[in-house]
Amino acid sequence: MAHIDAGKTTTTERILFYTGKVHRMGEVDEGAATMDFMEQEKERGITIMSAATTCGWKGHVINIIDTPGHVDFTVEVERSLRVLDGAVALFCAVGGVEPQSETVWRQADKYSVPRIAYINKMDRTGANFERTLQMMNERFATRCIPVTIPAGEGPMFAGIVDLLSMRFRVFHEDSFGTTFDDLDVPPDMLPAAREYRERLLEAVAEYDDQLLEQFLRDQPLDPAKVMAAVRRATIENHMVPVLCGSSFKNKGIQKLLDCIIDFLPSPLDMPPVQGHDVDHPDKVITRKPSPDEPTAALAFKVVTDPYVGRLTYLRVYSGKVRAGSYLLNPSAGIKERIARILRMHANKREDITEAEAGDIAAVIGMRKTTTGDTLCDQKHPIILERMSFPEPVVSVSIEPKTQADQDKLTNALIKLAEEDPTFKVKQDEDTAQTIISGMGELHLEILVDRLMREFGVGASVGRPSVAFKETITREVEAEGRFIRQTGGKGQYGHVWIRMRPSDGGEPFRFQNKLVGGVIPREYIPSVERGVREAMENGVLAGYPMTGIHVELYDGSYHEVDSNEMAFRVAGSMAFQNAARRAEAVLLEPIMDVEVVAPEVYTGAVVGDLNSRRGKINGMVPREDATVIAASVPLSEMFGYVNTLRNISQGRAVFTMQFARYQPVPTDVSKKMLEKVKY
């Protein structure tokens, strides 16, 4: 996991080469990388979909997922971290800790994933190991402690010094780094190596009383105990071992593989996975990572494969999954048949008969299982914690070119939405257009490209628009009365609700505050459904409403005429009446933008961001550039790529990611609402 261009795919290619999985290293720049198998990935030289593979090293099996770095595909990182036991965080020795590096680090914190850090690109001009390490320790809560240090930096990078064995490793370039020599540490490197080793031993001694005592008495420490203490500190997330190397120049990968095995947890090191009882959601059940336990697996990804159809990727937490067997999907309440089990190697696959605890595999035959669903033993049901995904912020309209494309488009959109939980499709009732929403312009561009190539759909796409929302600013009470008498049985629904802004940014909360059965209990869910439906279309400009707390506190019913439908309509009417008086405001998505620009262009970049209603949060000088951090409304960021290119003569780069929703300033809101009315 890492920022764009830190070298994730190149590093994975080297790992596959040294573990004997591939016999020739593919380069990302040539579009030949094994893990970047999509046409769009080869053309752009970026990773779009996370690719899974399995390899072996020193008698251990390693399941690897290579994730994208671009923030538009953050869902791929999120779901991979949810199911993996450890992570390798890559950093560029020149760029240091970049914005997306911080995002993926926070995602790993969220799932408490132990990790090791690998500072890549030590051979590039401007590489600075010490500065990158300092940035990591400043920005991350976990202590980052080097286990290897570079011998030389930039074009002078010659090899790595292992601080645990105090040996200097030099790689033979003619063998693509497959052979190397472990030599004594050169005299000029010894002072630095001893200082870093002291830091490492000091950090490790804190986790082992015996080591601490030996360390304080200046006694030699047992290498095996030091290794065990580093492993324990890493697995408990107290420490992150830091390695260095240059993947492109084939230096340092074998040591990285050793450290993955030495320090990252195996499935047996992880605590038993926790889930909930299907019938009693408050009851917690655990499953140990053992093949003898009842089966529990999590579907973390669904992919449409052109050859075998629908592939569902599973992480097996306990028990075994066998081809030809049935598993229960308790969320959907259905049985799913496992027709075939495949071990994936990017887009290639091999059939296996079973997958057991700790494995990652893809299965064929699941019809209804979606991302985040649990699959378990029918006699021992369990629901594992679901994943949470960010809401999409950019939308475009899409229309088929011909009638024949209409059916193709519908099927293709359903398949793409199954694959990607951050991609949403809806019909606009007013214009009858199909609206697709995603995490950014690049995300939607790739999806539209896939529609045309993979699914052969001819479609025209509208201009991007922003996912605005609406909310309320004060508490109000309102009545909803729905009474119809048409001879015979009529309709009767009557409710009183109290509505206020929700606490702590909760999107929606519904509370039943009725006393004395003024409305029968079976009608209360219908009132909530009516309120939720009314929230889909706000009162200012028809945008969805959020941040609302609704209390149902009074009402009445009719013995004969009341029904669920009547109370649903009454709930909807009460909400609309309340929302009109609750001083609604527009909300817009605000993006965290980071621009890296040469110093001479800093003034122009800052001026341009200010003109886009941006707020500058900070400026950090680097050796050759300035990093400008700002918060800017998404609506002002369309076309920013070209503007930035023009004002910096193509020398500045930027990244942005969604931060939060906040109210639109009154003057801007006024103009927007006038346009809507017009």
Confidence of residue 430 (pLDDT cuts 50, 70, 90): low
Q: Which residue reads 């804190």 in tokens?
A: 206
Name the pLDDT band for 26 (thresholds 50, 70, 90).
low
Q: What is the mean pLDDT of residues 472-488?
A: 88
**Which residue segments constitute the domains of the chain, with CATH numbers given?**
8-191+240-264 (3.40.50.300), 273-384 (2.40.30.10), 394-467 (3.30.70.870), 470-583 (3.30.230.10), 586-677 (3.30.70.240)
pLDDT score recorded for residue 503? 85
The vertex-82 CA angle with 79 and 85, nearest 5°, equals 130
Please tell me the predicted confidence (pLDDT) of residue 317.
92
Q: Residue 80's closest CA among 68, 92, 97?
A: 68
Tell me the pLDDT tens digit for each residue of 217-254.
777 777 788 888 889 889 999 899 999 999 999 988 99
Report pLDDT for 677: 56
For position 37, what pLDDT does the model report? Answer: 60
Q: What mean pLDDT value characterizes the chain?
A: 87
Q: How confident is the model at residue 676 (pLDDT cuts 50, 70, 90)?
A: low
For residue range 567-582, what is the model confidence (pLDDT) as tens digits? 999 999 999 999 999 9
Reduced 3-state DSSP string for 356-424: ECCCEEEEECCCCCCCCCEEECCCCCCEECCCCCCCCCEEEEEEECCHHHHHHHHHHHHHHHHHCCCCE
Alpha-carbon distance 167 to 174, whole Å?
A: 22
Determine what percent of the chain is predicted with pLDDT higher than 70: 96
What's residue 649's pLDDT?
Answer: 82
Look at residue 625 in the predicted model and tell me its pLDDT.
81
Of 426, 427, 315, the residue nearest 371 (C-alpha): 315
Phi-psi region of 177 (alpha: psi -120 to 50; beta: other; left: phi over 0): left
Assign 36 a pLDDT band (cuts: 50, 70, 90).
low
Sequence letter at residue 160: I
Tens of pLDDT along 288-321?
988 999 999 999 888 887 777 888 889 999 999 9
Does residue 35 carry a pLDDT above 70? no
pLDDT value of position 32: 58
**pLDDT recorded at residue 34:** 66
Mean pLDDT confidence for 329-345: 88
Q: If you ran DSSP here, which 8-state letter would residue 251 be given? A: B
Residue 601 CB partners (closer than 8 Å, separation 6+): 647, 648, 649, 651, 652
- pLDDT tens digits along 584-638: 999 999 998 988 888 889 999 999 999 999 999 999 887 778 889 999 998 898 8
The pLDDT of residue 242? 95
pLDDT in tens, 501-545: 998 778 899 999 998 889 999 999 999 999 999 999 888 888 899
Separation of alpha carbons 569 and 492, rounded Å = 10
**With the C-alpha atoms ordered 14, 20, 21, 23, is the resulting torsion angle positive or negative?**
positive
pLDDT digits (tens, 9 = 90+) for 80-109: 888 889 999 999 998 888 877 887 888 888
Radius of gyration of the chain (CA): 28
What confidence tier does 25 reach under pLDDT thresholds 50, 70, 90? Answer: low
Q: Which helix (H) or strand (E) holds 226?
A: helix 223-235
Residue 277, both tokens: 């009882």
With contact defined as beta carbons under 8 Å apart, do 184 and 168 qualify?
Answer: yes
What pLDDT shows up at residue 33? 66
